[in-house]
Structure 1
């Protein structure tokens, strides 16, 4: 009988366990996540899987999710706010949430925060201040005299201290012909108010001209304004055309080029290199991916690259690749120093997420984030007007010409001419 009781007890116990398990399964839907909570979880998962820093800024990332989901999230606006607060704990201005409109606009221009005034902007990682990377060539901002490294203190009287990058960009967008007032802070000059009339921003990335040096050598002057999806193809056409016209050397002007697509930077490096590594990418596992040149280059002619403080991101990948491979000499000023790579993720409700997934190193394993690339020949330059670029008043351009003429002489000696 005792045995039977034990059996019954065991059966009863296992039945109880089965019931409690079944209840657990049965009860679960009542505690299911709302659509708003699902969106927050989706963002958390993407960051958890891909973010470069696996310490998540020295915090328990799972606890961050728990904390956010404990509070009620009533609507989409609240969900977006909760996501932004969660991402803020990473202290990385480049990892950010984009609402559906911001996400669409980023996809359209593929080159960062282009706005109705034509500025590429970034949050300075050290100071947290909103900073100009570079004005877009020919844009209203450039015409109004805004320069790389200018800090934007206020937009229409509103302090930028508490604005995200995208909120700041949105405040500078607006109808063509409308006016926006910016309070700018500049080193050595204090604060000044600049009024800019918004306009359509032309994004023709390449300027190409055949010129003649003082010694009579024909050379190609190429200016690249940004790395959008057309940049590589446009530059390839320009080089081929200049080669046919007899160019014997090149100056590639990357000054105030704020970057854009990583792939465009890699493709353009391949136009100049027969072989060699272009860039290493390092993710949080420390795994290095590398991109190689496989030739043939479109030209082996001597090349000088012009850089300055507004040369950033994909521009730095290109400049670093050609400098480290001994393919080009760099002239100008130390570059901006953005060595982080973001990936764009589309979320289930049409919004987007930019996440820092890797950093990059030049072929000689230089990490340029916050450091920039130092040119072979350092030449500082007063700010030029649009019409002065590439003229006699452009000291960096004149220095590039000097380097080219020396290189041409060395090349001739090498061939015994």
Structure 2
């Protein structure tokens, strides 16, 4: 059986290869082929072969297989329920099963076009509550004022307790023009919103040339790393360069991530050589994604980040920081440093499995730690509350205003290291990129 497999850092597909399910440890396959429990064993085999933790969260994984295959399943829905239960034992919210409808939704989202309200959801690893990573700009959720860290309590009156991300997404999405009632908890208080679903085209890049004092600033806002992100980013950099921007501000705030290779391709627009990111699997094998072609521009760059900048955002930010290509301004990032592969199963369902940790070029593992910006600019709750939507990324926005000042220093000829040192933060020696020799490049176009 051939199984499509996708590689991603945050639950989205980015490359397609074919992977043959091994017959190893499958002596009873012929006895239940096409039966509901076939899916359970398919999932077990993928996890057994690829999961990043060889102890499987200190479980006897062989015994787990025997336990779940010994049961009788009257329907595929029963098998799906047990599959989710089996994966839950890994204690990893990113390793998850998707029924056919959920799997199709995931693929649709990757394409950058779907019908819904525009919310990026995550699962809090401590509380196991569904939490908003960020609303997508110019969507019903964004317009209604949904904010990062809002906790989703119910969907159309249905409690989200025990619900996984894919199930929640399935309930929230629907035909354009229909409504959905979402109940949140924000800072301990309940908040209920009725949102009308619409067709959402995920345009990940917005940009403009701005005059800030005597400087021409190319501002680029990247909201997520979808299938269009790298191409749109390249077009933005090219146009702003033609318009004679003196430097760039790349805004990754509230960007939850997306496609691994989109982040790598965008890094190649700014870097001319070296490692972008390395992945380390359960055997300690390291593979590196590298760049070996000239960057589109060498003009000064500042990157804005915050606590909702996650996964692919951290890959890009970490690469630019480690190579001294940009100054990071804002607050510590989310801290999602894991890579998943997504496999299509025989009945049209799918499974995402954590297969590796990723590290920045200097070897930093940022999982559950995040990336500290070079220059920290906190927004207090009061400041964030008073900052209106149309003031974000203007001089009324303290983080953007500081980015403009930092960019001005670079435009005046100050190297990144000196800019950081001048801000009172010594440039860490451990941030020097590690050599890419003896590492297997995944992609060096």
Deviation at 1:385, TM superposition (A): 4.0
Question: 1:107 & 1:32 partners in 2: Cα distance?
Answer: 29
- Aligned partners of 1:309 and 1:336 also within 8 Å: yes
Alignment-derived partner of residue 228 in structure 1: 226
Question: 1:175 & 1:350 partners in 2: Cα distance?
Answer: 22
Deviation at 1:140, TM superposition (A): 0.9
- Aligned partners of 2:113 and 2:201 also within 8 Å: no
- Aligned partners of 1:114 and 1:169 also within 8 Å: no
- Aligned partners of 2:112 and 2:227 also within 8 Å: no
Question: 1:324 & 1:149 partners in 2: Cα distance?
Answer: 28
Alignment-derived partner of residue 193 in structure 1: 192
Alignment of 1:168-247 (within 5 A): 168-187=168-187, 189-214=188-213, 216-247=214-245
- The alignment status of 1:303 with 2:306, answered yes or no, reads no
Deviation at 1:138, TM superposition (A): 1.0
Distance of aligned partners of 1:133 and 1:115 in 2 relative to their CA distance in 1, 3 Å threshold: farther
How far does the alpha carbon of each residue in 1:111-167 deviate from its partner, in whole angstroms, 9 at most, with x for none?
899871111111111221111111111111111111111111222222211111111
Deviation at 1:379, TM superposition (A): 1.3
Question: 2:138 & 2:243 partners in 1: Cα distance?
Answer: 27
Deviation at 1:268, TM superposition (A): 0.5
Alignment of 1:358-373 (within 5 A): 358-373=356-371
Partner SS state of residue 354, structure 2: strand
Deviation at 1:359, TM superposition (A): 1.2
- Aligned partners of 1:84 and 1:96 also within 8 Å: yes
Deviation at 1:194, TM superposition (A): 2.6
Question: 2:259 & 2:297 partners in 1: Cα distance?
Answer: 23
Distance of aligned partners of 1:58 and 1:410 in 2 relative to their CA distance in 1, 3 Å threshold: same
Partner SS state of residue 146, structure 1: coil
How far does the alpha carbon of each residue in 1:377-411 deviate from its partner, in whole angstroms, 9 at most, with x for none?
11123154432222222111111001011111234
Deviation at 1:314, TM superposition (A): 0.4
Q: 2:250 aligns with which of 249, 252, 259?
A: 252
Partner SS state of residue 286, structure 1: coil
Q: 2:348 aligns with which of 347, 350, 353?
A: 350
Partner SS state of residue 122, structure 2: strand
Alignment-derived partner of residue 341 in structure 1: 339
- The alignment status of 1:386 with 2:389, answered yes or no, reads yes
Alignment-derived partner of residue 423 in structure 2: none
Normalising by the residue count of structure 2, what TM-score does the alignment of the two structures yield? 0.82
- Aligned partners of 1:121 and 1:134 also within 8 Å: yes
Alignment-derived partner of residue 267 in structure 1: 265
- The alignment status of 1:400 with 2:398, answered yes or no, reads no
Distance of aligned partners of 1:66 and 1:29 in 2 relative to their CA distance in 1, 3 Å threshold: closer
How far does the alpha carbon of each residue in 1:69-98 deviate from its partner, in whole angstroms, 9 at most, with x for none?
111012211121121111111111111111
Distance of aligned partners of 1:204 and 1:33 in 2 relative to their CA distance in 1, 3 Å threshold: closer
More strand by share: 2
- Aligned partners of 2:83 and 2:97 also within 8 Å: yes
Question: 2:75 & 2:196 partners in 1: Cα distance?
Answer: 36
Distance of aligned partners of 1:182 and 1:127 in 2 relative to their CA distance in 1, 3 Å threshold: same
Partner SS state of residue 117, structure 2: coil
Partner SS state of residue 174, structure 1: coil
Distance of aligned partners of 1:55 and 1:114 in 2 relative to their CA distance in 1, 3 Å threshold: farther
Partner SS state of residue 200, structure 2: coil
Question: 1:406 & 1:60 partners in 2: Cα distance?
Answer: 57
- The alignment status of 1:377 with 2:401, answered yes or no, reads no
Distance of aligned partners of 1:173 and 1:367 in 2 relative to their CA distance in 1, 3 Å threshold: same
Deviation at 1:31, TM superposition (A): 5.0
**Runs (5+) with no aligned partner, structure 2:** 1-27, 416-445
Question: 2:390 & 2:238 partners in 1: Cα distance?
Answer: 26
**Runs (5+) with no aligned partner, structure 1:** 1-27, 413-417
Alignment-derived partner of residue 53 in structure 1: 53
Normalising by the residue count of structure 1, what TM-score does the alignment of the two structures yield? 0.88
Alignment of 1:99-110 (within 5 A): 99-110=99-110
Distance of aligned partners of 1:326 and 1:50 in 2 relative to their CA distance in 1, 3 Å threshold: same
- Number of positions where the alignment pairs a residue of Structure 1 with one of Structure 2: 383
Question: 1:228 & 1:305 partners in 2: Cα distance?
Answer: 19
RMSD, matched Cα: 2.0
Question: 1:302 & 1:241 partners in 2: Cα distance?
Answer: 16
Q: Which has the higher contact order (CA 8 A, sep 6+)?
A: 2
